[in-house]
Structure 1
Amino acid sequence: MRVELLRPEARLLIVGGLSASAALALCLIDPAAALTGWLGAAVAFAAIPAGALCLMAMMRLIPGAWGESLRLTCEAGTLLALPALALFLPVMLGVRAIYPWMAHRPETAFQAFWLDPWFYALRTLLWFLMLWGAARAIRARRRTRAVAAATLVAFPLLGSLVAVDWLMSLDLHLASSAFGLQCLILSVTLAFAALLLFRIGAGARPYRLGVLGALLLTLLLLWAYIQFLTFFILWSPGLPDGAYWYGRRAGGWDVAEWAFGLLGGLPLLLLLLAKVRKSPRLLARLCIAVLAGKLIEFAWLALPGQGPVGLIGFALASLGLGSGAAAGLSIALRRRVCARRPT
């Protein structure tokens, strides 16, 4: 089905292409820092189709007003799975520059197998193919309840695995059983905020907006709990590896911690007010704040030690991929609307 580009979408794609090209051009200066910055932005982009699939699977098993309001928007979000895979090509090609474990000789046969760059790329490929295949089956209404149930079982297991591959393995000292869950709730919260913001700006006021605001509040509560749980597990026992990981985020990164804490905590408190949850204007502003906070948090996870090039690369890549995500969601949503219309 052919969908014509609208002028705002074309402009977003141009801005996105130029910004992404500038981010990759920084590889000429410092490949490791530039590609790590790209990785952080690519993981944030990949959160949209992953979170959209999780939400869409929940809609099939937990029907309600919230699902009817966001169904088409979530279906559009899942269509970004293959573009997200394409954005990981620079990461898979530059894996030797990004990850410190590539410079260490494996100590066991399992390490030699698991840490092979080709197997890393295969695991990444399988994750996105799972997202694409499950979302396609649910959109096509093929055994949706069975597929949705299997998706919600596989999602935390496989999602935790790729979170370890993509982000936790950036630091050889870190070993945390809660890290994957931390990244998953971060990704789903970012995705929900992006999809809700897009739905509010797409046209008519969503049905039962207060329910959607309450769901955003629930996700922020889960995010705050998991953040505290991870900190408690790593820091409070005084384990040297956990202390080292948090110690790398001291200094200038303290500002980032305050930023994403406030950009998540203040919306959480404001969403306790029913008036805020039911206001499209206020809810849209809170979604923007949540999105900004989650992007900063992804930078906080990925970029310590990468210097100015990593930060600039992340900022340019985030602008480029964010513009591409906005254009892609708009195009995908019109495709889903057209597919639903009777012919």
Structure 2
Amino acid sequence: MRTAVARLAATRIAHPPLLIGLAVLILAEALLPVLGLLMPIRLLLRGWLAAFAVWSCIPIGSMTLLLIHRLTGGEWGQAVAPVLRPAAMLTPLVALALLPVLLGLRDVYPWAADPSTIPTDVGRWYLNEVAFVIRASMALAGWSLLAVIFAAGPGTQLLAGLGLAFFGLTISLVAVDWYLSLEPHYVATAFAAMIAVQQLLAALAFAVLISGPTIDGKVAGDLGGLLIATLLGVVYLELMTFIVAWYGDLPDKSAWFIKRADSGWVAVLIVAILFGAVLPFSMLLIKSIRDSQRGLRIAGSLILFGTTLHIAWLLVPAFEAQGAIVAVACAVLAILVLASLLIGSALQRVLEASHAE
């Protein structure tokens, strides 16, 4: 870890894209209050949250995969490490990217704008602005530390195990805070697990999409199997959530699904299922495709497309002015991706040099 940090500070080649990437993100955040004079700030922040939900899957999922590989081993982890390490090192950037949401909680979350919309004891002891920020800070600080340690070096298996336990605890809290509390009367016990598996799926799909020629044969087959497992995990958790809600026939749960059942959002979900789940799953069942880098890349790109649509289906129907929010989210996502590519390219050079020693 010290070697990687020292190289990052000393390597001139790494500085320009790193600083430019940070400047792009900071400038975008600084412009939000200015743009808020032209359009409602709540639309900007809600679009920012939707984009953040999609983009943050890859850094957080990459960090988690590094921890998993440290415990389990396997050639698959070594093959995609050049992608997972710099992607995981972007986890501190996740904290910076969430800052506008934390500063504008009352413009994003109904319970923050009007605490009377939730039970008094829930607001007092759990779902309030101070507790929200504390939980987010705790999770992001811990994830960032784990990401830096395991991206810069192997870390220990004990720390990896403890880190996964910490991740399991904190994702159970912040996934509900950041996303599910947009509609605080809806409760789904599997939601946090679904978000965690979705992050793993997105990180794997990203890794196979941009990895080099080291992915072939058995390694490609292993990665294809991991994609199948995580893809089935997301679909299973989403389906079971729907079945439990349908079987329970409770008004709050029904209202949540009714918002997502109009013709437009049903079409989004169908496209996400067909192109982001059914098609890549069918491809990965064929051994010749699963064992080829080209096949994995096609499947990975489809999965990332489906992930984007799935998260949009989960979050955007909670808001009004959905068209404007989608437009803002697309613009913000482009900014986050640009900043990530710039910073990630700098980090990749430093980490490759460090691990080559």
Normalized against structure 1, the TM-score is what? 0.89
Which residue among 97, 122, 133 is the counterpart of 1:121? Answer: 133
CA offset at residue 3 of structure 1?
Answer: 5.3
CA offset at residue 20 of structure 1?
Answer: 7.7
**In 1, Cα distance between equivalents of 2:271 and 2:326:** 15
Which residue among 263, 280, 283 is the counterpart of 1:270? Answer: 283
Instruction: Tell me, yes or no, if the aligned pair for 2:17 and 2:345 is still in contact at 8 Å.
Output: no
Aligned residues: 339
Which residue among 156, 159, 177 is the counterpart of 2:189? Answer: 177
Instruction: Tell me, yes or no, if the aligned pair for 1:36 and 1:310 is still in contact at 8 Å.
Output: yes
Which residue identity does 2:107 align to in structure 1? A
- Partner deviation per Cα, 1:153-192 (whole Å, 9 max, x = no partner): 2222211211100000001320111111111111211122
CA offset at residue 140 of structure 1?
Answer: 5.2
**In 2, Cα distance between equivalents of 1:132 and 1:8:** 20
CA offset at residue 114 of structure 1?
Answer: 2.5
Tell me the equivalent position of 1:230.
Answer: 241
Tell me the equivalent position of 1:243.
Answer: 254
Which residue identity does 2:254 align to in structure 1? A
- Partner deviation per Cα, 1:190-243 (whole Å, 9 max, x = no partner): 1221122121xxx33325222212211111111111111111122232121111
Tell me the equivalent position of 1:285.
Answer: 298
**In 2, Cα distance between equivalents of 1:187 and 1:25:** 32
Q: Within 5 A, what are the aligned runs for 1:119-198?
A: 119-139=131-151, 141=153, 144-198=156-210
Matched, 1:321 2:336: yes
Tell me the equivalent position of 1:55.
Answer: 65
Instruction: Tell me, yes or no, if the aligned pair for 2:213 and 2:293 is still in contact at 8 Å.
Output: no
Pair 229,17 (structure 1): closer, same or farther in 2 beyond 3 Å: same
Matched, 1:331 2:346: yes
Matched, 1:306 2:330: no
**In 1, Cα distance between equivalents of 2:24 and 2:119:** 46
**In 2, Cα distance between equivalents of 1:9 and 1:107:** 45
Pair 327,235 (structure 1): closer, same or farther in 2 beyond 3 Å: farther
**In 2, Cα distance between equivalents of 1:117 and 1:278:** 48
**In 2, Cα distance between equivalents of 1:341 and 1:228:** 44
Matched, 1:37 2:50: no
Which residue identity does 2:337 align to in structure 1? G
CA offset at residue 100 of structure 1?
Answer: 0.5
Instruction: Tell me, yes or no, if the aligned pair for 2:70 and 2:154 is still in contact at 8 Å.
Output: no
Cα RMSD (Å) = 2.7
Pair 260,22 (structure 1): closer, same or farther in 2 beyond 3 Å: farther
Unmatched tracts of structure 1, length 5 or more: none
Pair 140,313 (structure 1): closer, same or farther in 2 beyond 3 Å: closer
Unmatched tracts of structure 2, length 5 or more: 1-6
**In 2, Cα distance between equivalents of 1:20 and 1:275:** 45
Tell me the equivalent position of 1:261.
Answer: 273
CA offset at residue 323 of structure 1?
Answer: 2.6
Compare the two structures and name the one with the higher helix fraction. 2
Which residue identity does 1:204 align to in structure 2? P
Normalized against structure 2, the TM-score is what? 0.86
Pair 140,325 (structure 1): closer, same or farther in 2 beyond 3 Å: closer
CA offset at residue 83 of structure 1?
Answer: 0.9
Tell me the equivalent position of 1:212.
Answer: 223
Helix, strand or coil at the partner of 2:248: coil
**In 1, Cα distance between equivalents of 2:272 and 2:353:** 38
Pair 58,195 (structure 1): closer, same or farther in 2 beyond 3 Å: same
Pair 249,329 (structure 1): closer, same or farther in 2 beyond 3 Å: same
Which residue identity does 1:268 align to in structure 2? F
Tell me the equivalent position of 2:106.
Answer: 96
Instruction: Tell me, yes or no, if the aligned pair for 1:48 and 1:80 is still in contact at 8 Å.
Output: no
Instruction: Tell me, yes or no, if the aligned pair for 1:3 and 1:335 is still in contact at 8 Å.
Output: no
Pair 234,284 (structure 1): closer, same or farther in 2 beyond 3 Å: same
Helix, strand or coil at the partner of 2:285: coil
- Partner deviation per Cα, 1:139-162 (whole Å, 9 max, x = no partner): 455761111111222222211211
Instruction: Tell me, yes or no, if the aligned pair for 1:16 and 1:321 is still in contact at 8 Å.
Output: yes
- Partner deviation per Cα, 1:99-136 (whole Å, 9 max, x = no partner): 01121236435522433323212211111111112233
Instruction: Tell me, yes or no, if the aligned pair for 1:168 and 1:174 is still in contact at 8 Å.
Output: yes
